Amino acid sequence: MESRFLAPVRQLLLEYGLELVLIPGNGKIPGSYWGDSEAGLIATRLYARRDTPLHSVLHEASHFICMDQQRREALDTDAGGDYDEENAVCYLQILLADRIGGFGRDRAMADMDRWGYTFRLGSARDWFEQDAEDARAWLIDSGIIGEEEV
């Protein structure tokens, strides 16, 4: 993760009760579901290295935000959730990207496509703009975002 994003990411995560823990060098990232440089989650800590993609940090944070307290208390590596929640997580990570100055949704969606996220319409942008009503509704129904948030 680029150093210019560290302070705003820390602040954003704190708003949701998450602590960002940076792992030095190329050390193994605790709680990483995918391994390598991908972010990890254990309880209320989100682990990353300097080479962790920001979209990965936002994705794991979104998993935490979307889960209930019982799942948070047992959280270790696998965030779980169902298909609908996973879509909501992807939608939320795009919204959260706009809260990181110099990053934003355009870069987040491009990074998601490069990483290999798959969407029915072929790209994160097309999915977000044309096919994500169910994900948005899930987030609204769960009280995570308001009706006005797009």
pLDDT at 91: 97
Q: Is residue 90 in a domain? A: yes
Average pLDDT over residues 3-18: 96
Q: Are residue 54 and residue 91 in the same domain, yes or no?
A: no
Domain that holds residue 96: 83-141
Contacts of 130 (CB under 8 A, 6+ apart): 121
**Residue 122: is its pLDDT beyond 90?**
no
pLDDT at 118: 73
pLDDT at 3: 92
Q: What percent of the chain has pLDDT over 90?
A: 87
Q: Is residue 22 in a domain? A: yes
Average pLDDT over residues 58-72: 96
Q: Are residue 8 and residue 33 in the same domain, yes or no?
A: yes
**Residue 141: is its pLDDT beyond 90?**
yes
Q: Is residue 9 in a domain? A: yes
Minimal CA–CA distance to 63: which of 48, 75, 51? 75
What is d(CA 114, CA 89) in angstroms, rounded to the nearest whole number? 18
Residue 19 β-bridge partners: 45
pLDDT at 6: 96
Q: Are residue 69 and residue 87 in the same domain, yes or no?
A: no
Cβ–Cβ < 8 Å for 23, 47 = yes
Q: How confident is the model at residue 1 (pLDDT cuts 50, 70, 90)?
A: confident
**Residue 56: is its pLDDT beyond 90?**
yes
Q: What is the mean pLDDT of the chain?
A: 94
Average pLDDT over residues 78-93: 94
Neighbours of 3 (CB within 10 A): 7
pLDDT at 149: 82
